[in-house]
Amino acid sequence: MDTLEFETGKQNDWVVVKAKGRLDRLNAADVSVEWEKIQEESQKMVLELSEMDYLSSAGIRILLRLSKKAKAEGKEFALCCGEGFVKEVLEDSNMDMLVKVYDSLDELA
């Protein structure tokens, strides 16, 4: 799969964006625009990344930008990723030190 598919939903008072596929330099710009639109309309946003196959440095930059924007606007932003390659990338890049990472959507308060 060369693309990233995502769908939005709600859980508690969070907007949940479930992503599936790859987030890399080929689709990063388009994904960034879409996710920023969702974030503008949300007080709390979580990206559910458990079904993502790949996350590149371009994808990490998007996550950082969304996190910084949320913080500047007094909003909440989090990631959800139980296990696998993407979780390893988040840990290796220390993203889990900068952004709250949940193992499960059930942990959302």
Is a pLDDT exceeding 70 seen at residue 1? no
**For residue 69, what is the domain's CATH number?**
3.30.750.24
| pLDDT for the residue 83 | 82
Instruction: Kindly report the pTM of this predicted structure.
Output: 0.93
What is the per-residue pLDDT across 16-58, written as a single tens digit (0 to 9) for each? 999 999 999 999 999 999 999 999 999 999 999 999 999 999 9
CA end-to-end span of the chain, whole Å? 33
C-alpha–C-alpha distance, residues 65 and 13, integer Å: 22
DSSP assignment of 68-99: HHHHHTT-EEEEE--SSHHHHHHHHTTHHHHS
pLDDT-derived band at 82 (thresholds 50, 70, 90) equals confident
Residues of the domain holding 46: 4-107
Count of domains observed in the chain: 1
